[in-house]
Structure formats: C-alpha cells, structure tokens
Structure 1
Amino acid sequence: MARKKTILKSQILETAYQVVKKEGFEGFTARNIAKTMDCSTQPIYLEFKSMDDLKHELMVKIRAYIDETIYKKERTEEPMLNMCLNYVYFAKEEPVFFKALFFESQLDTEQMHIISYDQMMKLFEQYDGTKELTKAGKIKIFKNIWITVHGTAVLVAQGFLKFHEKDVTDYIKQALEQSVPEYKN
C-alpha cells in the first residue's frame, strides 16, 4: 500500500508565498521553504519539477492576490484614483513583498507591471474620457500616470518618502488630471 501524501502541493505553494512576502526572494530556496514547513526538500521536488516551476505557480498566486486583494480596495469613489492609491498603499504596508516583486528581478518585472497595466486598461474602457482612445493613446496615458504612481510607491517602500495620504493623493490626482482627458474627481 502506497504512503499517503502528508505535504500537499498547495501547502508548499502557500509556504513559498509566505516566505517571499516575509523575506523577499532571498528566502526563496527549497531548503528554506522546507525548513519553514519542517520537512525535507523531497516533497517540494516531488510536487514541482524545479524551483522555476514553483516560481511560475507562485507568480499566478501573486497576480491573483494583487488583482483580487490589493486593487479591489475602495479608498475613494474614483476607480482610477483607488487603483493608484492601492498600489502605493501596497508599497507602504508590505514593503518587503513590494520590493521582492518590483526590485529583485526574480520574477519577470515586465510581467509584474502588466498586472497594473491590465487593471488600468479595464478602467480606461469604463471611463468616458478614455474609452474611445486608441490603444497607443491609452498606453501613453498609462505611462504618464504610472511614472508618478510607481515612483511614489518605490520611494515609500524604500523609506525615502514619508507616506502622508493627502500628499500622495494630491500627487496622483495631479498626474491623473494632467494625463487623462476630461478627468474629474
């Protein structure tokens, strides 16, 4: 009779996720994940072909977290402003995780930025001032806004900019007003 699995793939993935949130990708090793789970590395390699395979599945989990948790918070009544503020709050509230995702280059950073890009494009489709624009026009507006939003988030995550909600909101509103046609808040 075969032994029953005691360590499941989902448990390994969740542990890897928690390790990266707490330690960044410095802690993303089979040995460290196994130590956190109080087991050997064998279950990890039984469930995942390689650490790259685990990293790929981790990326799927991270995207879901950002889409479903970070970007869904309603801080104001304005969806574009919410999305931008949520990104900066993410950097403030989870700086280690934010830096792991956007600084450490362990994941495809372009793929990480596509998460924000996709969210903004959905909002552009709903907003009267942007829904009729060409894709190139929407990309240009996104880049104009994201320079301010990402730059602010990076400075907050690194501790170079003290987070003051009113100031951050004002920076973002200004970027939105200068970039988005007919933006009203």
Structure 2
Amino acid sequence: MIHHLDQFADATGKRIAVVGAGAVGLDVIEYFSARGASAVLIEMQDAPGRDLDIITKNAMLTMLDEHHVEQHMRTQLVAVTPTHFTVKNTDGAFDIPFDYGFVCLGMRANTAGLNEIEQWARANNVKIMNIGDSLMARRIIDGVREGRNVLDTLEDMGALGNRESTKIPFLTY
C-alpha cells in the first residue's frame, strides 16, 4: 500500500480498522483520519502506544481524541475477512466492519536483505554487526536506544571522524 498512497489522498466517508496500537498502527490512523476517514483501533494491551516515548505517545493520544477514534483495548483479533475483523474481549466476540483494514502487529524480526548484506560483507572483508529489528523484534524505544549506543561507541572509538565528511556504509545518520 505504501507505494499507492496517492490513491488514498481523500478517505472521506471511509471506515478504517487497525489492529495494533504501536507506532505503525497509530501512524496509519493518523494518516487516514487526517484525510477524512473514521477509524477504529483494536489493541490487546490496556492502552495505545505503550512502547512509544512520552512525547510521541502524548501526541498520538491527542490525535486519537481529536479524530474521535473508536478504541477497543484488551481486545484480540480472532479472524480477518475482506470486509471485517472478528475480535473478542471480555464481552465476547464481535465484528468490526471496514473499508480498509490494517494488521500492524510487528511480531517477527525483519530480515529481508540480510543474507545479501552478509554475503557482500564476507566477500569484501567487511565486519558487520546485526542489530535492530533484523536481530529480533522489540519495542521501538529499545531500537532507538540501541542505535544511539552504537553511534556513541563508534564516536568513542574515533571511527566516525568528522561526521560531516565521513560516512559509513549501512549507518544512517
């Protein structure tokens, strides 16, 4: 879908349902709500954005309120159909209809392209370190902290030199 965002410039009158109240799920709601869609949020935990930093979390909670997003906390996804999600909570199972449905659970590590990078590194005698969500899926705040620690370590080693003139492959500044 990300390659077709121009097709969703106006979502007026559409209903979206999002399973997962993490960073990605909340971004999807923010995008479509700003374009006129009504939104429903389904989350297993007791609150949205639990793993976000406090500033982002507060901004997202404000956005949910401003767009009157229907929220179902402590609710599990049971089934997916082309027109609705079946969910359940302590009140029982029920359907949530949608025009566009999104499952944003982030449950497994993202290893796409890792084999190619490792092969290139071996062939070119370059040491690499597997970090981030390609190693294991986890909370966004942990990934940010890990990236900052790697950058600090490289700076302490003098590996970065002048940041403006020295760029290291595979390292985002």
Q: What is the TM-score when the length of structure 1 is the normalising length?
A: 0.23
Of Structure 1 and Structure 2, the greater strand share is in 2
Of Structure 1 and Structure 2, the greater helix share is in 1
Q: What is the TM-score when the length of structure 2 is the normalising length?
A: 0.24
